[in-house]
Amino acid sequence: MTTLELPGILAREAGTREGYRVVELFIGAQHPASGHMRLIAYLDGDIVVRVDPDIGYVHRTMEKLAEQREYVRVISLLERMTIIDACNITLPYVEAVERLLGVEPPPRAKYLRTILCEINRIASHLYGLGIGGIFLNHSTMYMWAFGDREVFVHLASLITGSRLTHTYPIPGGVRRDLPQVFRDEFEKAKRYMLRRLKEYDKIFFNNPVVRGRLENVGVLSRHRAITLGATGPNLRASGVRYDARLLGYAAYGELGYEPVVGSEGDALERVWVRLREIEASLELIDRALREMPEGPILAEQYVRLIPPPMRKKWLEKGRVKLPGSYVRLKTKPGEVITRGEMGRGEVTYFLVSDGGVKPYRLRVVTPSARNLVLFDALARGHTLMDLPAIYGSLDYFPPEADR
């Protein structure tokens, strides 16, 4: 095989197939943007005629491993799928377990879950925007987005005590209450981010060079987005008003969320939707902090499991250390389907219980797995150098698809 010299890409000629010259594009595994993902492109000259995504293997086998662990211990396993969006990916699973347990979390716990989900969403969007900047060789965008992301990682650590893998929602409530300093810290973060979003518009969204790379590139029509099963900002950028938060899980039903919807469906519109969703998430957190009720953070039936000498002390501190018996919660036999809206789109869980302390079956459909089909659908007919722009606009997260 012949090694080809292409701008910014290491490629290998692999002969011809179906009448086309076949080139393997290694936009990974060393590329900072793609992880273990690579694309195999079929080219006619400089025109892409087909793209085969090779998602690679992390060998996490999470769905099978979940059958070997108690329900509570599965939470810390699942959040590794999308480590940058941990609360959004685990919350629908926790709600599925709660339905099998027949327990309802206290109202305050629902608001706390919503706040952390929106913090994770902002951090996830900034991660995606930074990675998109890398694909376009826009290093300023990469450094700005990753630097600003730290502001929200810090906010998440104030609530949960950890930066990324929070394991915060648990069956019946959450692990910690809001610390006193959080409201002030959030106010500072909100003012900072709203100011920064105006600068993002100048340096990125309204940058003529960036617009030249993204505008009218990888256009996904409304009809095609629905037909292909696209989800998340990639779906809403095509004019489809669908967001799993409209289902009203956690506290979203009380906060009255209105999704950000685009119209053009091109790569630029997908970036625009993410920028505007950061504003919407800041507003949601602000509203949740104002309307959050006082009260317990854990269901009464689980509070009673805490040894009496420790109960008062832990509840006053707002940090609950659960006893060993909590791990072996026994569910009712049955099947449950739950949904949630992650930064990249809808995540769906199918959980089957045989009445034991571990899942009988667990199946997950993640947004990156659903959006994988877009690589081929959107790249066809574009030039080779449009491919990284399309890739960056899709905000694909490789470990989320290979689970």
Encode pLDDT of 70-92 as tens digits.
Answer: 999 999 999 988 888 999 999 99
Q: Which tops the pLDDT comparison, 365 or 325?
A: 365
Q: Are residues 168 and 258 in the same domain?
A: yes
| Span 126-170, pLDDT tens digits | 999 999 998 888 889 999 999 999 999 999 999 998 898 889 999
Q: Which tops the pLDDT comparison, 10 or 155?
A: 155
With cut-offs at 50, 70 and 90, classify the pLDDT of residue 306. confident
Q: What is the pLDDT at residue 49?
A: 85
Helix axes 182-200, 139-160, angle to 10 degrees: 170
89 in a structural domain:
no
Q: Are residues 50 and 121 in the same domain?
A: no
Q: Are residues 27 and 141 in the same domain?
A: no
299 in a structural domain:
yes
Q: Mean pLDDT over all residues of the chain?
A: 89
Q: Which domain holds residue 397?
A: 105-324+383-402
Distance between CA 316 and CA 302 in Å, rounded? 16
Count the Cβ atoms, other than its own, within 10 Å of residue 170. 25
Its pTM surpasses 0.95 = no
Q: What is the pLDDT at residue 314?
A: 74
Q: What is the pLDDT at residue 312?
A: 75
Is the pLDDT score of 11 beyond 70?
A: no
User: 121: Cβ–Cβ under 8 A, 6 or more apart, which residues?
Assistant: 85, 88, 277, 281, 342, 343
Q: Are residues 149 and 35 in the same domain?
A: no
372 in a structural domain:
no
Distance between CA 173 and CA 21 in Å, rounded? 56
Final residue belonging to a domain, choices 54, 73, 96? 54
Distance between CA 278 and CA 56 in Å, rounded? 30
| Span 191-243, pLDDT tens digits | 999 999 999 999 888 899 999 999 999 999 999 999 999 999 999 999 999 99
Q: Which long-range contacts (C-beta less than 8 Å, at least 24 apart) are formed by 29-37?
A: 29/56, 32/131, 32/134, 33/131, 33/134, 33/135, 33/391, 33/392, 34/391, 34/398, 35/397, 35/398, 35/399, 36/398, 36/402, 37/396, 37/398
Which CATH number fits the domain that encloses residue 208? 1.10.645.10
318 in a structural domain:
yes
With cut-offs at 50, 70 and 90, classify the pLDDT of residue 59. low
DSSP 3-state assignment of 120? helix
Q: What is the pLDDT at residue 315?
A: 73
For the chain, the domain total comes to 2
Final residue belonging to a domain, choices 12, 29, 54? 54
User: 19: Cβ–Cβ under 8 A, 6 or more apart, which residues?
Assistant: none
Is the pLDDT score of 2 beyond 60?
A: no
DSSP 3-state assignment of 26? strand
What distance separates the 2 farthest-apart alpha carbons in the chain? 76
Q: What is the dihedral of CA 364, 368, 373, 374, to 10 degrees?
A: 150
Q: What is the pLDDT at residue 42?
A: 82
Q: Are residues 245 and 316 in the same domain?
A: yes
In order of 59, 79, 142, 282, the CA distances from 32 in angstroms are: 20, 21, 11, 28
Final residue belonging to a domain, choices 35, 54, 73? 54
Token pair recorded at residue 15: 């002969």
| Span 25-40, pLDDT tens digits | 666 555 666 667 888 8
251 in a structural domain:
yes
Token pair recorded at residue 18: 């179906």
- The mean pLDDT of 322-346, rounded to a whole number, is 91
Q: Are residues 49 and 188 in the same domain?
A: no
Q: Are residues 36 and 115 in the same domain?
A: no
| Amino acid sitting at position 251 | A
351 in a structural domain:
no
Distance between CA 122 and CA 117 in Å, rounded? 9
Pairing assessment for the beta strands 361-365 and 345-353 based on DSSP bridges:
antiparallel
Q: Are residues 305 and 203 in the same domain?
A: yes
With cut-offs at 50, 70 and 90, classify the pLDDT of residue 58. confident
- The mean pLDDT of 10-15, rounded to a whole number, is 67
Q: Are residues 20 and 114 in the same domain?
A: no
Q: Do 357 and 329 meet the contact criterion of CB atoms below 8 Å apart?
A: yes
Distance between CA 49 and CA 256 in Å, rounded? 44
Ranges assigned E (strand) in 37-176 = 38-44, 47-54, 169-170, 173-174
Q: Are residues 135 and 37 in the same domain?
A: no
Token pair recorded at residue 180: 């006193």
| Span 244-298, pLDDT tens digits | 999 999 999 999 889 999 988 999 999 999 999 999 999 999 999 999 999 889 8
Q: Do 54 and 29 meet the contact criterion of CB atoms below 8 Å apart?
A: no
| Amino acid sitting at position 294 | E
> What is the dihedral sign for C-alpha 386, 388, 390, 393?
negative
113 in a structural domain:
yes
